[in-house]
Amino acid sequence: MSPATKPRAPRRAKPATLRVLVMRAAGTNCDRESGFAFEQAGASAVTLHVNEVLRRPAVLADVHGVVIPGGFSHGDDLGAGTVFGTKIRARLADAVRRLVDRGGIVLGICNGFQVLVKTGLVPGFDHKLDRTVTLAQNLSNRYEDRWVTLEATTDRSVFLRPGERYRVPVAHAEGRLLPLDERTRKRLHADGQVALRYVGPDGGHPAPYPFNPNGAVDDIAGITDPTGRILGLMPHPERHQFPWQSPDFHRDGAKETPDGLRMFQHAVEHLRRVF
């Protein structure tokens, strides 16, 4: 058989590019780290100012995930995450919901968590935008910048694996999660929407200060929505995506996969299954 007539081996289809939108605002300062963490996990990241997304909300139909990074959006002038959250709640909530309904993900880190709380996307009971939790001033009455240990306490979130622990930093002054009332607190637990809890020195609860750095109710560090595809958390997983970022690096050596990066990898694994 001549080379011209020799059958060619079928080409392998290239995996679809997974695109994550990093949505920033004036005062956001963790957008590059957050986007790079998704890139390390195997997705591509594009950064847009929220005003650009407001002008072209159709861009949310062209991505598979959204991350709202940490920082001090709009200077926290009207309260942490208030302005950013109001913009999303008023004009983008439906588009975000459509993204999640088709299997996409939303991640809010620190100030991004505050934004998600202000929108009502988390906890999002009954898929409504009711604001049933808040993130209040730290009980220490100071800005907390330290490393903490988290434990994944739900099997609902696509970002987490139940029982996994993550050593990551916090950097916030308003991170104390408070439910609206006792009924809300109980429902968060009953519905599996308590995603992450601070772990005390003995590995359990309650976690005293500084292991729970802000005094959050029930040591709650992060919550998910009912679908498990929206996650808000106060600590910064994007700040532990390289082994040498950990304060334990020189003592314990390098982990094969840094703790914070695992959350992004789990999320991308979910996106690959869906898309």
Q: What is the value of pTM for the model shown?
A: 0.94
Give the alpha-carbon dihedral of 256, 196, 53, 43, to 10 degrees: 20
Q: What is the mean pLDDT of each run of 10 residues along the chain (275 residues)?
A: 47 66 98 98 98 97 98 93 97 97 98 98 96 98 98 98 97 98 98 98 94 98 98 98 94 91 98 97
Alpha-helix runs per DSSP H in the chain: 31-41, 50-55, 82-91, 93-101, 111-119, 182-190, 249-252, 259-274
Write down the domain spans for the chain. 19-274
Q: Does the annotation mark 64 as catalytic?
A: no
Would you state the pLDDT for residue 136? 98
Neighbours of 24 (CB within 10 A): 27
Would you state the pLDDT for residue 16? 63
Would you state the pLDDT for residue 176? 98
Q: Does the annotation mark 30 as catalytic?
A: no
Q: Does the annotation mark 236 as catalytic?
A: yes
- Distance CA(160)–CA(266), nearest Å, equals 6
Would you state the pLDDT for residue 245? 96
Q: Which of 21, 114, 107, 101 is nearest to 73 (CA)?
A: 114
Cross-sheet strand order for the sheet of 220-224: 44-49, 19-24, 65-68, 105-109, 230-233, 220-224, 194-198, 144-152, 165-172
φ and ψ at residue 133, rounded to 5 degrees: -135, 160
- Distance CA(76)–CA(74), nearest Å, equals 5
Which CATH number is associated with domain 19-274? 3.40.50.880
Would you state the pLDDT for residue 3? 45
- Distance CA(124)–CA(223), nearest Å, equals 10
Q: Which of the residues 64, 172, 236, 270 is marked catalytic?
A: 236
Q: Which of the residues 74, 174, 238, 240 is marked catalytic?
A: 238
Would you state the pLDDT for residue 28? 98
Q: Which of the residues 30, 64, 110, 240 is marked catalytic?
A: 110
**DSSP letters for 178-236:** EESSHHHHHHHHHTT-EEEEE--TTSSSS--TTTSSS--GGGEEEEE-TTS-EEEESS-
Token reading at 126? 């009954």
